[in-house]
């Protein structure tokens, strides 16, 4: 496991209102068959919900 130095929280460096937000996206090529898109969507929803 890679060990990294601890970074101070925003509040610890004088920025109590600062927030960090992370976004993720999953894309498929144009023309991907609808059944494949549906299957990918169902798998992602299950993974996010923790049921897979």
pLDDT attached to residue 52: 58
Residue 52 lies in a domain: yes
Residue 40 lies in a domain: yes
Q: How would you write the pLDDT of the chain (52 residues) with one tens digit per residue?
A: 788 888 888 999 999 999 888 998 999 999 999 999 999 999 999 998 987 5
Q: What total of structural domains would you count in the chain?
A: 1
Q: Which two tokens stand for residue 4?
A: 């990294």
Residue 1 lies in a domain: no
Residue 30 lies in a domain: yes
pLDDT attached to residue 7: 87
pLDDT attached to residue 2: 83
Residue 12 lies in a domain: no
- pTM value is 0.54
pLDDT attached to residue 13: 93
| Residue partners of 36: CB distance under 8 A and separation at least 6 | 28
Task: Give me the domain span that covers residue 37.
Answer: 25-52
CA–CA separation, 23 and 33 (whole Å): 25
Residue 48 lies in a domain: yes
Residue 7 lies in a domain: no
């Amino acid at each position: 496991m890679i060990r990294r130095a601890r970074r101070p929280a925003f509040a610890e460096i004088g920025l109590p209102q600062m927030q960090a937000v992370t976004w993720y996206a999953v894309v498929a090529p144009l023309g991907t068959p609808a059944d494949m898109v549906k299957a990918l969507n169902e798998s992602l929803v299950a993974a996010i919900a923790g049921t897979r």
